[in-house]
Every structure is written in C-alpha cells, then in structure tokens.
Amino acid sequence: MASQATTAPRAADPFVRAGPKPKLAVWKFASCDGCQLTLLDCEEELLAVTGQIDVAYFLEASSATVEGPYDVSLVEGSITTAHDVHRIREIRDQSGKLVVIGACATAGGIQALRNFAGPDGGPDVSAFANAVYAHPEFLEALPTSTPISEHVFVDFELRGCPIDKHQLLEVVSATLAGRKPQVPNYSVCLECKRRGAVCVMVAGGQACLGPATQAGCGALCPSFSRGCYGCFGPMEDPNMPALGERFAELGVDADGWLRALRTYNAYAGPFRKEAASVERRRS
C-alpha cells in the first residue's frame, strides 16, 4: 500500500527502523480534538513521520483503517460514558504501548468540573446538564469525567491543554525506539528562568501557577506578560498551600484561588487536594 519515502532516510532519523513499519493508531474520547490536531500541525515533520510509520487508525485524518493490533496507540480525551469504559479496554488490549495525550486524557479535562459539582462537592452531572439540555434525561453520561489511567494501564502520560508538538514527536519517537521519553517534570519556573523572562509574580505582582505547574510549554504565558494558568497540570509534589498563600498576598480571594485550581486539570491530584482543602476550610 504505502511506498517508501522518496528521499533517503538520514541515519539519525528516529523514525527509521528495520523491518515492517510500526503501526500507529489515534483514538478520541471526550475532548476538543486539539491534541490529535497537534499531529497534523507538525507540518514540517508530518510527511517524514508518515513515511516511516503506518498510520493505521486515525479517523480525523483518514478514512482508511487497518485492523489491530497496533504498536503504539495515542489516546486523546477523557472517559465520560459507560461505552467509553468498554472501548478503552478494547483499545488497551490491541495496543503494544498506550500513550495518552493532553489534559482530558491525563486528568479528565475541563469537563471533569462535573466531578465537584454536587452539593457535597462530589460528582454530579445533572447540575450542568440541566443548564444545557431541555431534556437532560436523554443524556447517557457518567457523573464523572476521568483520566484514562483510572481505567487501564497507561505507558506514558503527555501533559498539556493542548500538548506541545515537539514533546509529542519526542514521545512517539522514544516509544518506538523503546527508550524513556525525555519530558521534564520540573516546574514552569525553571523554563522561565532558562528563557530569561522577568518573573510576572515577583516583578509584576501577577498571580501565576508556574511554581506548581509542570514544564513543557516553554513558559509561554509569562513570555506574554501573563501568569501561568496551569494548562500542563501540577508538577510532581508541588507546594500548593504556599502558593495559595502567595495568591492571597497578591489579592486573590479564596474563590479566585479555587477557580485557578479548577480549570483544565482540576481532577489532577495536587490541584484537586488543594481545592478540597480550601473548600473544607470555608465550610
């Protein structure tokens, strides 16, 4: 079906392998499509990559599908229906490596706000559904939006809302080569320093989630004179209470701190725990 690439592959090309081309599949659950679009946004690399990989299942891009099993599956989106729970297990069974991409797949996404919408702070989809639908009883949705790792074993979680395309290329090539992806787990602060950006919080007095947020964006918001809003989710073991105190000193009230924690990665451990502790203190 697929012809060989027209140009001779370079020896250092991470996508060059001996033997048959590895099969890649791309799957979607509840999401905006932005993370799988990131693959198509690799304009300069796309044709080189697809010359070396058999894109066996990628419905957003192709109506040709190849049966599993697949060497690598990329999964976008969160689990929000009973059917999703069943489908992700089938996908896991068919996938050598399962890599989940983006805040929906790694943390439930913004739709995980339903996980805290009940009167007791627990899961409740009806509060939101009643606001949107004339007949919410038609809705076949779970009361929660959960990350893929709550349902099946995940080989790698790539953060971001959306993911960074350079990190995506690194993760795909590392996974195919059988090595650990080089994706940093330190905070956005380090990227900011490396970039030589002036601290928006210390010098600018702006609230910034950077000290608690995992790197990967290249300190994008601070480089645009804006505080980080945490779209890559919490770094490993952040000091959330200390950052909460800093926000308070900068004039952010408890509601504002809660909203900052509850956006695209609201269900991710450290953000979730800090928000729960803020709510406990208030009640």
Partner 1 sequence: MSNAVGPDPGAAAPSAATRRIDVEALARVEGEGALHVRIVGDTLEHVALRIYEPPRLFEGFLRGRHYTEPPDITARICGICPVAYQMSACHALEAACGVTVDGALRELRRLLYCGEWIESHALHVYMLHAPDFLGYPSGIHLAQDHRETVELGLRLKKVGNDVMVVLGGREIHPINVRLGGFYRLPRLSELRALREPLLRAREDALATVKWVAGFDFPDVEADRVFVSLSHPSEYPLNEGRLVSSRGLDVPVSAFEDHIREEHVAHSTALHATVDGEPYMVGPMARYALNFDKLSPLAQEAAREAGLGPVVRNPFQSIVVRAVETVYACDEALRILDAYEPPDHAFVEVPPRAGRGHACTEAPRGTLYHRYTINAAGMVLDARIVPPTAQSQAVIEEDVRDVVRGHLDVPTDQLQHLCEQAVRNHDPCISCATHFLKLEVERR
Which residues of this chain interact with partner 1, rule CB under 8 A? 2-3, 6, 28-38, 40-41, 43-44, 46-47, 50, 55, 58-65, 80-81, 84, 109-111, 113-114, 117, 125, 127-135, 138-141, 145, 161-162, 217, 220-221, 223-226, 229, 231, 256, 259, 263-264
Closest of 164, 157, 154, 220 to residue 37, by C-alpha? 164
Report the alpha-carbon distance of residue 190 to residue 200 in Å, rounded: 13
CA distance 20 to 36: 24
| Shortest reach from residue 178's CB to partner 1, in Å | 25
Instruction: Say how far apart CA 95 and CA 200 lie, in whole Å.
Output: 43
Can you tell me whether residue 8 is helix, strand or coil? coil
Q: Measured from the CB of residue 179, what is the shortest distance to partner 1 in angstroms?
A: 26
State the minimum distance, in angstroms, from the CB of residue 184 to partner 1: 18
Q: How far apart are CA 140 and CA 123, in angstroms?
A: 15
Beta carbons within 10 angstroms of residue 54's beta carbon: 17
Only one residue has tokens 């020896």, namely: 11
Q: Using the minimum distance from each CB to partner 1, give the nearer residue, 236 or 279.
A: 279
Shortest distance (Å) from residue 91 CB to partner 1: 11
Q: Tell me whether residue 6 or residue 283 sits nearer to partner 1 (CB atom).
A: 6
Nearer to partner 1, 155 or 199 (CB): 199
Q: Which is nearer to partner 1, 26 or 183 (CB)?
A: 26
- The helix (run of H) or strand (run of E) holding residue 51 is helix 46-52
Residue closer to partner 1 by CB (options 58, 70) is 58
CA gap 95, 88 in Å, rounded:
10
Minimum Å distance from CB 84 to partner 1?
7
Spatial distance between the Cα atoms of 267 and 140, rounded to a whole number of angstroms: 21
Give the span between the Cα atoms of 77 and 143, in whole angstroms.
16
Contact between residue 180 and residue 188 where contact means Cβ atoms under 8 Å apart: no
Q: How far is the CB of 180 from partner 1 (least distance, A)?
A: 26
Return the number of the residue (12 or 132) whose C-beta is nearest partner 1.
132
